[in-house]
Amino acid sequence: MAMNITNNQPFTVNFLRTVTNVGLANTTYMAHIYTNSQLNIIVNPSTLLFKQLKEKQSFLVVVTGKGFDLNTTQSALLGWSDGIHSVHSPIVIHTYTFPQA
């Protein structure tokens, strides 16, 4: 999950994701966020209960912050774990400006 934001402006970024259970049936995954104080991150729902194999579930990741200087990158990590297996997704928010082609 990555987003380029306007520098020095408060921001809210939404990432909607859908995942498919490729593990066991009747498994519960809990979200864990690893971040710094520059990003506020909420995952909703923060628990996914898969009742069967190949079942799909969706969740929303909301990232907010006060804004950053130009050419700044802030990152975080969203982890899902059932206590045995874990899956991680990086979250990157940046204010880089790229040259026009």
Percent of the chain with pLDDT over 70: 100
Give a yes or no: residue 18 inside a domain: yes
Q: Which of 31, 50, 49, 51 is nearest to 41 (CA)?
A: 31
The count of domains in the chain is: 1
User: Does residue 98 or residue 37 have the better pLDDT?
Assistant: 37
Mean pLDDT of the chain: 94
Q: Residue 94's beta-bridge partner residues?
A: 4, 73
Mean pLDDT of 39-65: 97
pTM of the entire predicted model = 0.90
**How high is the pLDDT of residue 78?**
98
Give a yes or no: residue 101 inside a domain: no
Structural domain span for residue 39 = 2-94
Q: Is the pLDDT of residue 98 over 80?
A: no
Looking up residue 20, the CATH number of its domain turns out to be 2.60.40.2310
